[in-house]
Amino acid sequence: MKKRFENRSSANFLYDYFTVPEKLHEYHNGYYLSEGINEIALYENCYFVLDLICNHKLNFEIEIWHFARYTQDLFLLTGKNKNDIIFVEIKNLQSDFYFDDLIILKKGKLLCLPIEENIYSL
């Protein structure tokens, strides 16, 4: 019998329809959210993940952030650059986030979904 959390998937698969530029949403400290990230944060209640990403001070041109479940309600947030070099891991983040994982790109002061990477610029 599979546990309930083993049947979930990536939020990126459900929110993969953001393929044209839409309005950017002001967040805080000069950051902007793409329409896809804004919708996920709103409906999936994961603003704390965005805050952790925005508060991280090591800035690469593009940062890839992966929020991934490893037990029923514990997650790991990993930041890496485009060369797959991990620069931060934040463990034991407790959340009721529905999906098993979410990938967010940080491009300067913009947070977007990977599918939105080439449609927004600041």
pLDDT digits (tens, 9 = 90+) for 3-51: 444 556 899 888 888 877 778 999 998 999 999 999 999 998 899 999 9
| pLDDT at site 115 | 92
| pLDDT at site 49 | 97
* pLDDT tens for each residue of 49-68: 999 999 988 778 899 999 99
The Cα–Cα gap between 24 and 32 comes to 6
> Average pLDDT of 94-107?
94
For residue 97, is it within any domain?
Answer: yes
- The CATH number that applies at residue 28 is 3.10.450
> Average pLDDT of 70-94?
94
For residue 35, is it within any domain?
Answer: yes
Neighbour tally for 26: CB within 10 Å: 8
- The boundaries of the domain holding residue 60 are 24-114
For residue 10, is it within any domain?
Answer: no
| pLDDT at site 2 | 37
Give me the torsion for CA of 103, 21, 45, 63, rounded to 10°.
30
| pLDDT at site 57 | 82
| 2 SS3 class | coil
The Cα–Cα gap between 39 and 116 comes to 13
5 or 118: which leads in pLDDT: 118
| pLDDT at site 46 | 94
Q: What DSSP line would sit under 11-40, residue for residue?
A: HHHHT----S----EE-STT-EE-HHHHHH
> Average pLDDT of 81-87?
94
C-alpha separations of 80 from 26, 45, 67, 89, 104 in Å: 24, 23, 12, 9, 11
Total domains present in the chain: 1
The Cα–Cα gap between 93 and 117 comes to 26
